[in-house]
Amino acid sequence: MFTGKLKEVIVVEGKNDTAAVRRAVSADTLETGGDAVDETVLAAIEQAQAKRGVIIMTDPDGAGERIRRIISQRVEGCKHAFLTREEATGKDGIGVEHASPEAIRRALSEVRCETESEGNGEVTWIEYLDAGLAGGVRARRLREAMGRHLGIGYANARQFFRRIQMFRITRSEFRQALIQAEKEEQGGTTTHHRSNP
């Protein structure tokens, strides 16, 4: 799957995450040092993006999502790799450091690129609401399953819609992922990642 060293720099939260990434692939990393991302770190990420590109791979939890947003708002055109909560759960909690090399390689093989402007995606807010992705426990389960199939991770209702826009998920991709999520909900087969289009 991966041969040689990755061109992009992978942005992770800490040293243990770096170690996990390096067990999976040959890559350089930048560590944010936790969720208080300071100016020095942001400047380093900007420089890496300009020269080599960056892939953000933060923990699939609230703090990781906050870091992802801070970086995305500051540095345009980032790529994103998402681990599922299941892949990143260990006995000590949730984090990239707990993911297997296979899970990390899978996430890196399914990176999504940000677009420079959001809000003009194919999927509308009305379609999103009609799909049942906002409000209630069922909406959360659907977003979790769709996030796996689309390779964009889990987020709350508004952030998940923003990701659909930001990553330019097509109406066809959206519908296909929704069908798969609904099948899982009805007791169908669970798959933990999307197939590459």
| pLDDT tens digit sequence for 101-119 | 999 999 999 999 887 555 5
Of residues 156, 20, 3, the one with CA closest to residue 81: 20
The predicted-structure confidence for 37-83, as pLDDT tens digits, reads as follows: 999 999 999 999 999 999 999 999 989 999 999 999 999 999 999 99
136 in the Ramachandran plot: left (φ > 0), alpha (ψ -120 to 50) or beta? left
Q: Are 55 and 10 in contact (CB under 8 A)?
A: yes
Determine the average pLDDT of the residues in 149-167: 91
The percent of residues above 90 in pLDDT, for the chain, comes to 73
**Mean pLDDT over residues 141-152, rounded?**
92
Q: Let me know the angle formed at the C-alpha of 82 by 78 and 88, rounded to the nearest 5 degrees.
A: 140
Q: What is the spatial distance between Cα 78 and Cα 131, in angstroms, rounded to a whole number?
A: 28
